[in-house]
């Protein structure tokens, strides 16, 4: 039995035919057919049902398929381990980001520069980037669909996830300069209860900042009325300046003084939006993801706390 035979067998099952398997493997269709037939003779079992338009695995084939895939995965793992020791890093890293994280330095973490340096050092590693809500990315981390993610946290990370805080910013209320909240503010701040019943403008549901707002309002005894949503805080601030509502956003560059806009602190309680680098507590499975995680963590300020 040869690895090539197992590889051809798995490809035929996954592609549903010998021709498509040959195209995938860059091997002629007769070559694939001959190798699979040889495997069947060696095992003394018919592994494929060739009677239909689509080739499928027989009952024996389904049983063998599990071990064939495991054998191929083990061989690939051996190759990757050897490459790692030889300094030739390969593989794929799936990285998730909150919207906007790739476009600007987050808490001093310049992701674009770091990813560029990593690619220069390890050009054979494929990096895939996904932008999504923090809630979905945390679920994807736990499911193994992502290796690493930059997410917003409303509290402690879920079980099985370790997070290292990158940025911790207070949530503020951005309003039109003639909004009643401006007149009632004390020392430039308003209590959370002042937002009860107000039309709010916020980040989408599933983001860390939105979860912080909803949790705080629930503890205060009311449900926030979010009339408008947008993923970019700068857009929310502009909407607030036009009088569309009270934008509850992290205190960042987009809350600097601007014509028609006033920014008020939120008290009783003070709310904080945290952005963190997160990964499975057991660690990323591949050497490429582990190497990138080490590089990202080394770029974070030493005061950042690790949370599990």
Tens digit of pLDDT for each residue in 252-272?
777 776 788 999 999 999 999
The pLDDT mean for the chain works out to 88
* Residue ranges matching CATH 1.10.10.10 in the chain: 3-84
Evaluate if residue 222 carries a pLDDT over 80. yes
pLDDT per residue over 231-253, tens digit each? 888 899 999 999 999 999 988 77
**Cα separation, 233 vs 245, whole angstroms:** 14
Q: What's the pLDDT score for residue 299?
A: 85
Report pTM: 0.64
Query: What number is the average pLDDT over the span 63-83?
Result: 85
Domain(s) labelled CATH 3.40.190.290 in the chain stretch across 167-273
Is residue 108 over pLDDT 70?
no
Q: How many CB atoms lie within 10 A of CB 136?
A: 16
Query: Residue 294: phi, psi to the nearest 5?
Result: -60, -40
Length of the chain: 308
Please determine, looking at this structure, whether the domain spanning 3-84 carries the CATH number 3.40.50.300: no
Q: What is the pLDDT of residue 48?
A: 94
**169-178 pLDDT tens trace:** 899 999 999 9
The residue among 204, 192, 254 whose CA lies nearest residue 229 is 204
Reply yes or no on domain 167-273 having CATH 3.40.50.300: no
């Amino acid at each position: 039995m040869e690895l090539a035979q197992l590889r051809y067998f798995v490809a035929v099952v996954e592609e549903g035919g010998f021709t498509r398997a040959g195209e995938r493997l860059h091997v002629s269709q007769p070559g694939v057919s001959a190798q699979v037939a040889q495997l069947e003779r060696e095992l003394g079992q018919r592994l494929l049902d060739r009677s239909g338009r689509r080739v499928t695995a027989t009952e024996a084939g389904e049983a063998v398929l599990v071990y064939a895939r495991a054998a191929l995965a083990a061989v690939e793992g051996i190759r990757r381990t050897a490459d790692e020791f030889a300094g030739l890093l390969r593989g794929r890293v799936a990285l998730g980001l909150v919207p906007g994280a790739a476009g600007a330095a987050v808490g001093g973490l310049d992701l674009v520069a770091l990813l560029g340096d990593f690619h220069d050092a390890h050009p054979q590693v494929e990096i895939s980037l996904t932008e999504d809500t923090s809630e979905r990315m945390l679920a994807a981390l736990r499911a193994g669909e992502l290796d690493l993610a930059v997410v917003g946290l409303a509290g402690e990370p879920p079980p099985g996830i370790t997070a290292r805080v990158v940025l911790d910013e207070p949530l503020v209320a951005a309003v039109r300069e003639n909004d009643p909240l401006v007149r009632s503010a004390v020392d430039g701040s308003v209590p959370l209860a002042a937002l009860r019943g107000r039309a709010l403008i916020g980040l989408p549901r599933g983001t860390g900042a939105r979860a912080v707002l909803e949790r705080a309002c629930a503890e205060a005894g009311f449900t926030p009325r979010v009339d408008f949503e947008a993923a970019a805080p700068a857009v929310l601030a502009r909407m607030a300046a036009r009088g569309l509502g009270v934008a509850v956003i992290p205190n960042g560059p987009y809350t600097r003084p601007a014509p028609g806009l006033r920014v008020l602190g939120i008290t009783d309680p003070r709310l904080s939006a945290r952005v963190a680098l997160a990964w499975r507590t057991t660690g990323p499975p591949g050497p490429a993801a582990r190497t990138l995680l080490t590089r990202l963590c080394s770029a974070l300020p030493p005061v950042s706390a690790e949370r599990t």
